[in-house]
Amino acid sequence: MTAPILGTSYDRPASLDAPRAPRRSSGNNFEKYAWLFMRFSGILLVFLVIGHMFIMLMIDGGVQRLNFAFVAGRWASPFWQIWDLSMLWLAQLHGGNGLRTVIDDYARKDSTRFWLKTLLVISMILVCVTGTYVIFTFDPNIS
């Protein structure tokens, strides 16, 4: 006598029936690339931020030196413009990608997820565009 079968074949995902069988590729690797971006941008951000803090606090005389003239002199150099711009963009994209995964994990309704992600993208674009504009159009000769 055989035991009755409680489920049918379509109740179980194919991966459970043949766990070592190669899965079909859906063609969308966005999550894989987002995951890789988080790792590489995090490593790069660690070096950029620690370098920034070391230079600002140890070499340049600390926070008491920060004023308008200091920023004007610093942003007169393309090296520091690129350094600060890369910190801005990497931090914004890294944080936005992390918040996107939090929204995906915790937003229950599709409409809520859509509007939260829309607000996230709008805020990310606004911060990146405004920061880039300020870095490249900073005028030290304000009268």
Entry field: residues in the chain: 143
What is the biggest distance separating any 2 CA atoms in the chain, rounded to whole angstroms?
A: 96
Query: What type of residue is 107?
Result: A
The arithmetic mean of pLDDT across residues 41-61, rounded, is 90
Q: What is the pLDDT of residues 82-119, one digit of tens each?
A: 999 999 999 999 999 999 999 999 999 999 999 999 99
Return d(Cα 132, Cα 89) in angstroms, integer.
9
Over 60: is that where the pLDDT of 14 sits? no
How many other β-carbons are positioned within 10 Å of the β-carbon of residue 97?
16
Stated pTM of the model = 0.75
Q: What angle do CA 90, 118, 39 make, to 5 degrees?
A: 30
How does residue 65 score in pLDDT terms, banded at 50, 70 and 90?
confident
Q: In this predicted structure, which of 7-16, 50-59, 80-89 has the lowest mean pLDDT? A: 7-16
